[in-house]
Structure 1
Amino acid sequence: MAAASELRSDHALMLAVRDGELDALGELFERHHRPLFGFLYKLTSDRSAAEDITQVVFQRMLKYRHTYRDDGSFTAWMYHLARRCAADHFRRSSQAPHATDPAGLAEHADDRPHAGQHAASRDDHALLRTALSRLEHDDREVLLLARFQELSFAEVADILGCSVGAAKVRAHRALHALRDIYFRLQNPSRASSLE
């Protein structure tokens, strides 16, 4: 039979952490550290920074556990903390996110290549990662939350501190910007003008 913590939702586990059952944070870490690291890696384009920020997020979850609300979404709360931790990191390092060499993305924790994957598909994914890295920070952030982390627009709006409609508009505009960059990269004659 499965352990009781495995049967509890993220929300129930975080309520337990808030109420002093600190071991429940370990279960939340096991469930969420990979996707959180993936989000932060794509946001920062820096593996070391993403690892550090991921650790800080879980430390802040423990430190600020009393701020977790009964009616809140754990995932939205976690990504809200992650955004704040990333902003603190950028402020401290006085640098904005920068484009990453696509060759370095092969080490990314979220990459799960399949043996039967076609070369064209790999090329498309590499092109998409490059296009994503060239987006403005705010555009990349909203797309990562809405499309890659698969949060609802209500959760994204809560994280970004805007209305659901504004979150949808931001995601829509960011998706168009990503598409434009992707197609320019795909066309070699235009790709040279991006350099």
Structure 2
Amino acid sequence: MGDEKTDEALMLAYAEGDLLAFEILYQRHRGTLYRFLLRSLRHRADADELFQETWSRLIAARERYRPDAKFTTWLLQIAHNLVIDRFRRQRPQASPDETDSVLRNLDAPESEQPERVLSEFEQRRRLQLALEDLPDEQRVAFLLRVENGLGLDEIGEITGAGRETVKSRLRYALARIRARFAS
């Protein structure tokens, strides 16, 4: 019955006490939200924690919700703000083993690195590593665009950046990912 309603209408209904409206919103957006958080944070435990926190914040803000922007933009902005807070509290660092492994591979002559065809899994892993190497702002912009299909203006609303800044972040992110795959 509520499946035909827009997300914004469902959120307004939830603000008035319609629990079914919340269930529909949750079903529609849980996958998108979780993927965004997991790719942004890289650790399942962190993504799980912020996934719950995002929904908690949505519940707490339900009466203040205004459909000024798309619901997904609003939801992802809550998540993005939580991700930024997490980054500020704890900057991720490579472990000593990871650092040693990378340095050994850089020092190895090309003739000692075996040629092989990458499987689909290996390509996904390379993309994940390329995403991890991006600066936070570029990674978030890239994920919002590619994973969530958001436009420049919507990404700007979520991240608080101007349209041209978002375009630059996307351009630099794509260039870095392409360079990573070319090497």
Q: CA RMSD in A?
A: 2.2
CA shift at 1:99, angstroms? 6.4
Q: Distance in 2 between matches of 1:17 and 1:182?
A: 45
Q: Distance in 2 between matches of 1:182 and 1:119?
A: 11
Q: Distance in 1 between matches of 2:138 and 2:92?
A: 12
Residue of structure 2 in register with 1:113 after alignment: none
Q: For the pair shown, which has the larger CA radius of gyration, 1 or 2?
A: 2
Q: Distance in 2 between matches of 1:97 and 1:148?
A: 22
Q: Deviations over 1:11-51 (max 9, x none)?
A: 21112122332331121111111111111111111101101
Residue of structure 2 in register with 1:5 after alignment: 2
CA shift at 1:89, angstroms? 3.0
SS at match of 1:86: helix
Identity %, equivalent residues? 30
**1:14-163 paired onto structure 2 within 5 Å:** 14-91=11-88, 94-97=89-92, 120-163=119-162
Q: Distance in 2 between matches of 1:64 and 1:15?
A: 11
- Give ranges in structure 2 of 5+ residues lacking alignment: 99-116
Q: Distance in 2 between matches of 1:97 and 1:182?
A: 23
Residues 124 and 181 (structure 1), Cα distance of their counterparts in 2 relative to 1, 3 Å cut = same
- Give ranges in structure 1 of 5+ residues lacking alignment: 102-117, 185-195
SS at match of 1:23: helix
Residues 67 and 167 (structure 1), Cα distance of their counterparts in 2 relative to 1, 3 Å cut = farther
Which one is further off, 168-177 or 47-56? 168-177
Residue of structure 2 in register with 1:179 after alignment: 178
Q: Distance in 2 between matches of 1:8 and 1:170?
A: 34
Question: TM-score scaled by structure 2?
Answer: 0.79
Q: Distance in 2 between matches of 1:131 and 1:43?
A: 12
SS at match of 2:58: helix
For these two proteins, the number of residue pairs brought into alignment is 163
- 2:120 maps to a residue whose letter is S
Q: Distance in 2 between matches of 1:169 and 1:66?
A: 36
